[in-house]
Structure 1
Amino acid sequence: MSTNGYTARHRAMLQAIADGRGELLCGRVPSLAVDGLWCDFVATGQLFAEGLFRPARQAAFGAQAPAELTTSGLRVLSSFA
C-alpha cells in the first residue's frame, strides 16, 4: 500500500493512534479524538474505510474505545518515513 492520496493530516492521525493517543466513539463510521480533540471526520472515515485502524477492544455502538492501528495501518505509517 502506498502513501499516494494520504496527506500530512492522515499521517499525523495514524501516528497519534500508534502513540496510543487516539480514542474512538464507536459507530457505523467511528469518530476519532486525539488528546481529547475531535479529528477531521472525512479523514477519519477515509482511514477507517481503508482498514488502517480499529477499536482496540469490543465496544457497543456509541461507546468509547481506544484506537489501534491494523497491520495495514502500520505499513502505511512506516511508508511515510
Structure 2
Amino acid sequence: MTPTPLNGRALTLLRAVAAGRAELGAGSEPDLRIDGLLCSVQPTAHALTHAGLVRPVRAVAPGQWVPAELTAAGAQVLELDSAA
C-alpha cells in the first residue's frame, strides 16, 4: 500500500535510494541512512519500507546495515512524479 499522497520528503528519500545513496538497518523498524548519515525523517522511511516502495538488497542480521533499493512500485512512483 502506497502512502497517499507522497510528500516532498518521501520523494526525496526515494530519489536517494534510486541513486544508490541509501542503506537500511535490519530490525523491526528499518532505519534509513543517506550518504552514511541517519535520516532525520525515520517515520517517513518506515512508511516507505512498509508500503513496499523500498527494500534491502539482501537479508542481514538485526543491527546490520545493507544497501537499499527501490521496488518496482517505488520506481513507478518516481516515474509518475517525473512525468507530472
Cα distance between partner residues in 2 of 1:2 and 1:35: 25
Q: Under a length normalisation based on structure 1, what TM-score does the superposition of the two structures give?
A: 0.90
Give me the identity figure in percent. Answer: 40
Structure 2 gap segments, 5+ residues each:
none
Residue 15 in 1 paired to residue 15 in 2?
yes
| 1:26-72 superposed Cα distances (whole Å, 9 cap, x missing partner) | 11121000011212111011101110011011211111100000001
Q: How many residues align?
A: 81
CA RMSD of aligned residues (A): 1.7
Q: Under a length normalisation based on structure 2, what TM-score does the superposition of the two structures give?
A: 0.87
Structure 1 gap segments, 5+ residues each:
none
Cα distance between partner residues in 2 of 1:2 and 1:33: 21
Residue 65 in 1 paired to residue 69 in 2?
no
List 4+ stretches of structure 1 deviating above 6 A: none
* Residue identity matched to 1:54: R
Structure 1 residues 68 and 74: CA distance shift in structure 2, 3 A? same
1:25 to partner: Cα distance? 1.0
